[in-house]
Amino acid sequence: MGYEAFPEPLWAEIDLCALRHNFSAVRSHVGKGVRIMAVVKADAYGHGAVAVAHELLRQGADAFGVARLDEAVELRENGITQPVLIFGPTPPQKAPLLARYGIIQTVHSDTYAEALQAALLAQQPRRRVQVHIKVDTGMGRLGYIATGNGGDVPLGQVFAGFSSRTMLDVCGVFTHFAASDAADPVTARRQLAVFEQALSELPAGMRDRLCVHAANSAATMVMPGARFDMVRPGIILYGLRPSAEMDTAGFDLRPVMSLKGRIASVKRVPAGFTVSYGHTHVTAAGTVIAAVPAGYADGYSRLLSSCGTMLVHGRPAAVTGRVCMDQTMIDVGHIDGVQEGDEVVLLGRQGAESVTADDHARLTSTINYEVVSRILARVPRVYVENAE
């Protein structure tokens, strides 16, 4: 293998076959009667939002969820016409963009609702914006506090406040679980009960006109009662488990992202040879050290210094010394014939071996969500079809 095979030092391979597989696992799990809002915030957890959204549309995704206005606009500018919901607050002065692009905005408080209303009223021509109301049932983040969670305003009264906000068209209501990925999701069941009570506070008939939703990936998998009209899976679409505690048996997920590079340099070195910043690694015996063009500025965490593993020729090779901004060294002394330009796998499979996002998460004290979404923009995404 040489440079000609793929002319980038480092790239993230996104397996569309695995993405389709994970989506259809969700679809067959929830059935046809429940809409699927594919969560593609943070550039689809590092997988590339536009490509992922187009692929999932072809598979029957009904809507998309993002965190920020710019993420929603990117989808619209790239031909996605399905409903897009922004979970986080859009600055009111940018509210006209919501109207122009037909994007649904989450409203989490009366203060925010008033600011949106005022910003839209000031605009000519006047255009209304669709909103979903966020209810805090125990996440303690955004949303109107539900009565069952210590709030003192029944949901019906919250909704009544919107009758004078003529520029806001309330078409949905939702909540978010804090711990649906626990081994036993007791608190999520409590949140669900709190949400159902809040829904019961709505005037008769109103609930039927709203899109009601609650389930993230974990709840989509294990809480059928939390599906309502629509589910909002994110991490499972990318083939990763919502948490290590969860029993995911019966749910076949395939990781979508691999991180691969080409070895930049190979050198035979003597014993006592110092490697990388701080000289934290000194070779005990003669060996072969390879430099890999990936560093913490690519999202390869510096916490993997002297403890990460990469794969070369289908065999594990240990990270030696500190991860630099753009380079990382590995010891390949035990692997025959390693040459500059050879493929190295930082995340994913090579032969019988694999390095998973969960492995990186464990070594860097975080969760697999962060491992994939911290792979930064300078790493090109390459879309492939690896049928199994």
Ligand X SMILES: *Cc1c(COP(=O)(O)O)cnc(C)c1O
Verify binding: residue 242, ligand X, rule CB under 6 A: yes
CB of 67 to ligand X, least distance (A): 7
How many residues sit in the footprint of ligand X (CB under 6 A)?
12
> In terms of CB distance, is 247 or 385 closer to ligand X?
247
The region of 234-242, 261-269, 344-352, 355-363 touching ligand X under the rule CB under 6 A is: 234-242
Which of 35, 47, 165, 232 touches ligand X by CB under 6 A?
Answer: 232
For residue 91, whether the previous peptide bond is cis, meaning omega lies within 30 degrees of 0, is no
Verify binding: residue 23, ligand X, rule CB under 6 A: no
Catalytic residue, from 41, 144, 260, 369: name it: 41
Q: Which residue has the tokens 């916490």?
A: 303
> In terms of CB distance, is 11 or 369 closer to ligand X?
369
Q: Phi-psi region for residue 299, left (φ > 0), alpha (ψ -120 to 50) or beta?
A: left
CB of 242 to ligand X, least distance (A): 5
The region of 49-57, 231-239, 303-311, 350-358 touching ligand X under the rule CB under 6 A is: 231-239
> In terms of CB distance, is 242 or 321 closer to ligand X?
242
CB of 316 to ligand X, least distance (A): 29
Verify binding: residue 137, ligand X, rule CB under 6 A: no
Verify binding: residue 39, ligand X, rule CB under 6 A: yes
Parallel, antiparallel, or unpaired for β 265-269 and 287-292? antiparallel
Question: Is there a catalytic annotation at residue 300?
Answer: no
The answer to whether 68 is a known ligand-binding residue is no
The answer to whether 325 is a known ligand-binding residue is yes
The region of 153-161, 233-241, 280-288, 327-335 touching ligand X under the rule CB under 6 A is: 233-241
Verify binding: residue 216, ligand X, rule CB under 6 A: yes
CB of 43 to ligand X, least distance (A): 13
Which of 233, 255, 299, 348 touches ligand X by CB under 6 A?
Answer: 233
> In terms of CB distance, is 89 or 234 closer to ligand X?
234
What is the 3-class SS of the chain, one letter each residue?
Answer: CCHHHCCCCEEEEEEHHHHHHHHHHHHHHHCCCCEEEEECHHHHHHCCHHHHHHHHHHHCCCEEEECCHHHHHHHHHCCCCCCEEECCCCCHHHHHHHHHHCCEEEECCHHHHHHHHHHHHCCCCCCCEEEEEEEECCCCCCCEECHHHCCCCCHHHHHHHHHHCCCEEEEEEECCCCCCCCCCCHHHHHHHHHHHHHHHCCCCCCHHHCEEECCCHHHHHHCHHHCCCEECCCHHHHCCCCCCCCCCCCCCCCCCEEEEEECCEEEEECCCCEECHHHCEECCCCEEEEEECCCHHHCCCHHHCCCCEEEECCEEEEECCCCCCCCEEEECCCCCCCCCCCEEEEEEEECCEEECHHHHHHHCCCCHHHHHHCCCCCCCEEEECCCC
Q: Show contacts with ligand X in window 312-371 (CB under 6 A).
A: none
For residues 327 and 295, is the Cβ–Cβ distance under 8 A? yes
> In terms of CB distance, is 75 or 294 closer to ligand X?
75
Verify binding: residue 144, ligand X, rule CB under 6 A: no
Question: Is there a catalytic annotation at residue 277?
Answer: yes
Catalytic residue, from 3, 94, 267, 277: name it: 277
Verify binding: residue 239, ligand X, rule CB under 6 A: no
Verify binding: residue 176, ligand X, rule CB under 6 A: yes
Please identify every residue annotated as catalytic.
41, 277
Residues marked as binding for substrate?
A: 141, 325
Annotated binding site: 141, 325
Which chain residues interact with ligand X by CB under 6 A?
39, 41, 65, 87, 176, 216-217, 232-235, 242
